[in-house]
Amino acid sequence: MKIEIVTIGDELLIGQVVDTNSAWIGKQFNNSGFEINRITSVKDTEAEILNILKETSRRADVVLLTGGLGPTKDDITKVTMCKFFGAKLVFNDEVFEDIKILLKDRVSSINELNKQQAMVPDNCTVIRNPVGTAPVMWFEHGGTIFVSMPGVPSEMKHAVEGNILPRLISRFKSSEIIHKTVLIHNIPEAVLAEMLEFWENALPEFISVAYLPSPGRIRLRLTAKGQNKRELESSLQKVIDQLYPIVGEAILGYDDVSTVKIIFDLFIKNKLTLATAESCTGGNIAHQITLIPGSSNIFKGSVVAYHNHIKTGMLGVDERTLEKNGAVSKEVVEQMALGAKKSLKSDYAMATSGIAGPGGGSELKPVGTVWIAVAGPNGVISNQFKFGHIRERNIIRSTEKALVMLKHMVEKDLV
């Protein structure tokens, strides 16, 4: 079965908005054993929308469309679909009810534009949308199913999870697809590929492998395809078990999760608490931790010490040490970690101090120089890193490294 995604909107083509909807849909469908064959983003002109409808109707069994259903004039998906499917717009009472309920607290009265959103094509199945003003439309045309959804991520997600995916699952028998991801830390891609050459050549036909590099780590993705889920799972597990003898300690984990999620699980499991003292990461470590639901169970807080008087005043860094070694130094970052652990009353603490750039570098300490320290019940350790010139990347890599250093310290302490 061939499934395609079509996202509609000029904002995608001029780069004002990144298409995150497609990735989300791809993940959900894959988890249910469906493959997405292609993703296309088109402009919101009638000609382009008609073109892609015609093309996909020849190629695909299911076409999932998002975008262009809002109340404003630039939203032309609905009228264009009417043209393509030869439909007339009719007023739908149920949809109007939904709109009225939704807007009750938001506007003083329903205006004409919102009322028009209750007009729906007369030859489609209308799927009501309780979280937005545009309903979902399900067309069947010449053997292809077209589902038109709002582009607002929360509305699209609600429709896919609650209705569209369950409908497609009950109608089409899908084959099983299983992905497993092995997280590998700090080995360059080509070196890893050479290490894994024999292992890769010995993989069974139905298992494929892909390398996904990102700052500081590689996600090794294994995909197994077939009919029997249990057999696929045990085959995958067998080849994954062969990796540790080859790659060893560089394996960070066996799920496609962020390093911060690995830390969260480790701290929850062992009832530990955490704090951060951040200079160059500017609160990003705290932010990444607190994005996780339930993080208040492990996270005490953070001192973002951008200015030196905060390092001395709130974290107890010694003024002479600071003057002698500078803020970006082993001595200061270790005192920051120990100070955070003490004053925020946590079991462990991470500290960062570096030159994120683009300005502020010197010959001795160029942009990208970062000191990271981790403090725990058995003392403090620190490392210096040389990252690159790009500010955002330096913040991300510093965050990642701090978390990996913390993971190693906690695992050692737990032995």
Residues 294-313 that bind a copy of itself (CB under 8 A): 294-296, 299-307, 309-310, 313
* Closer by beta carbon to a copy of itself, 9 or else 368: 9
Query: Which H or E run includes 197?
Result: helix 197-201
User: Least Å distance between CB 194 and a copy of itself?
Assistant: 5
Candidate list 2, 32, 33, 35; residue touching a copy of itself; CB under 8 A: 35
Is 344 a binding residue for a copy of itself by CB under 8 A? The answer is yes
**Contact pattern from residue 105 through residue 144 relative to a copy of itself, giving x for each residue in contact according to CB under 8 A and a dash for the rest:** -xx---xxxx------------------x-----------
Residues between 1 and 20 that touch a copy of itself (CB under 8 A): 9-20
Number of residues that bind a copy of itself (CB under 8 A): 106
**Counting beta carbons within 10 angstroms of the beta carbon of residue 374, is it exposed (0 to 12), middle (13 to 18) or buried (19 or more)?**
buried
Answer yes or no: are the C-beta atoms of 181 and 210 closer than 8 Å: no
Tell me which of 211, 229, 321, 381 binds a copy of itself, using CB under 8 A.
211
Indicate whether 46 belongs to the interface with a copy of itself (CB under 8 A).
no
Are the C-beta atoms of residues 374 and 405 closer than 8 Å to each other? yes
Q: How far is the CB of 111 from a copy of itself (least distance, A)?
A: 5
Question: What is the closest distance, in whole angstroms, from the C-beta atom of residue 188 to a copy of itself in the complex?
Answer: 6
C-alpha span between 295 and 281 (Å, rounded): 19
Strands 176-185, 207-214: parallel, antiparallel or unpaired by DSSP?
A: unpaired
* C-beta atoms surrounding 397 within 10 Å: 20
Q: Does 100 bind a copy of itself (CB under 8 A)?
A: no
Of the candidate spans 139-147, 241-249, 259-267, 288-296, the one that interacts with a copy of itself by CB under 8 A turns out to be: 288-296
Helix (H) or strand (E) holding 119: strand 119-121
Q: How far is the CB of 192 from a copy of itself (least distance, A)?
A: 8
Q: Which of residues 165-204 bind a copy of itself (CB under 8 A)?
A: 179, 181, 188-191, 193-194, 200
Check residue 381 for interaction with a copy of itself (CB under 8 A): no
Q: How far apart are CA 266 and CA 346, in angstroms?
A: 15
Judged by beta carbon, residue 163 or residue 295, the one nearer a copy of itself is 295
Q: Identify the residue among 1, 101, 212, 246 touching a copy of itself (CB under 8 A).
A: 212
Structure-token pair, residue 402 = 């701090």
CB 137 to a copy of itself: min, Å:
19
Q: Interface with a copy of itself includes 36 (CB under 8 A)? A: yes
HSE of 22, CA atoms in CB hemisphere, 13 A: 19
Give Cα separations from 89 to 55, 77, 97, 117, 357 (angstroms): 24, 13, 17, 10, 56
The mark string for 235-264 relative to a copy of itself (x by CB under 8 A, - otherwise) is ---------------------x--------
Residue written as tokens 């959804």? Answer: 149
141: part of which helix (H) or strand (E)?
strand 136-141
Among 2, 38, 100, 229, binds a copy of itself (CB under 8 A): 38
Minimal distance in Å, beta carbon 104 to a copy of itself? 12
Cβ-contact 398, 280 below 8 angstroms: yes
Torsion sign, CA atoms 289, 290, 292, 298: positive
Reading the block at residue 310, the tokens are: 């905060």
- Secondary structure of residue 106 in the 3-state scheme: coil
